[in-house]
Each structure stands twice: as structure tokens, then as C-alpha cells.
Amino acid sequence: MRRLLLALPFALMPLAAAQAADEHDHDHEHGSLGAHVHGVARLDMALDGRTLELELDTPAMNIVGFEHPATTAADKMTLALAKETLLKPHALFSLPEGAGCTATKQRVESTLFGDKDDDDHDHADGDAAEHEHSEIHGHYQFTCSAPNVLNKLDLTQLFKSFPATQTIQVQLVTPKRQMGAEVRPSNPVVKF
């Protein structure tokens, strides 16, 4: 399954390029799918058999409102509450009940949570370079008893939990299709 998620960006590269070009034409501020843009997150979704995996990548600004290491009690509390929320996948992602999906794994990582930066980049320029653009990565795995019932993903709760997130660029691969979509709080459901 991990290979499928790793291959997802390559499988959808033509779509991403077309979408990025289209976004550039309409709003030069939103760049390509891989760019660090406040308000914009990316969600990769892959269904393989009964296993559904979701990978969320978002600037920390969208989740906690800052990208610097937490030094104040308020910032530390904000980080702790955000991590707690992010570790509850059923509270973020609404899947059709008939699919019988149960969260089996969830992991959230960020340098802000004290996790090591998994980049291979050398941050020789100091801490400022390392924390200039902090990201939060979430990995969620579900086992679904009736995966053929999966036909939509509702992100309403994710938008409500983290209102600074204004756009989620979704890429998905299922046995039946590959697609990309852009969802917003006003239209938070991806149908596939």
C-alpha cells in the first residue's frame, strides 16, 4: 500500500500540471500542488482492497496559526490540542457509514511536535531556515468491510476544526479511477 501512495503523485502528475497551470491563469498566488501556500493543504487518498490510506500535508499555519517552535504556554497548548484533533481521523474525515471503515492507524508528524525533519536537506543556515515553513503531515489508515460502498469523502469537519484551511487539493487512486479535485469549505465533499 505504501508503494501505491508513493506512486500517487507520479500517476497524477499530468493532472497536477494541468491544475497548476489552470490555477496560475486564475490566481498566481496558489502555485502548484507541492508548494507551501498558507490556506492550502494536500490530501492523497488510495484504496487498495479493503485498505484505505489518507496522507494529509499542510502548512502548520493552517492548523495552529504559526510556524515557529512553541515557546509560550499558549502556543504549546495550541499544538497539543491540534495534535489531539489530528489523531482522531473519524472526527476529520467522514466516510459513508455503509463502507464500514475503521481507523486502524494514525500518525501525525511535524518539527513543531518535536519530530525530526525527514527531509534530506542540510539546514546549515540555522534554525530560522529549518522552521521558516513548518509542515504537518498526517497518515491515516482505515480497514473497510465494504470498500465498494466508498464513493465520497466529506471534509466538512476538517475545515471546521482548522478554519485557516481554505482549500484542500485531493488526489485519489481507487481500483476504478484516478482523479484530482479541489475542495473548499463551501463544497467540502469529494465524490468518486
Q: Residue 31: its pLDDT value, please?
A: 36
Contacts of 126 (CB under 8 A, 6+ apart): none
The reported pTM is 0.77
User: Residue 169 phi/psi, 5° resolution?
Assistant: -90, 115
Strands 40-48, 101-109: pairing is unpaired
pLDDT at residue 14 above 90? no
Kindly report, residue by residue over 113-167, the tens digit of the pLDDT. Answer: 988 764 444 444 444 444 468 999 999 999 999 999 999 999 999 999 999 999 9
HSE at residue 55, side-chain half, CA atoms within 13 A, is 16
Lowest mean pLDDT among 7-11, 122-126, 186-190: 122-126
Q: What is the DSSP string of 121-161?
A: ---TT-HHHHHTT-EEEEEEEEEES-GGG--EEE-HHHHHH
CB 104 within 8 A of CB 128: no
Look at 10 and 157; give whichever has higher pLDDT.
157
Beta pairing class for 189-191 and 152-154: antiparallel
Report the alpha-carbon angle 63-35-15, nearest 5. 115
Q: Give the whole-angstrom CA distance, residue 6 versus residue 156.
A: 26
At 70-128, the pLDDT tens digits run 999 999 999 999 999 999 999 999 999 999 999 999 999 999 998 876 444 444 444 44
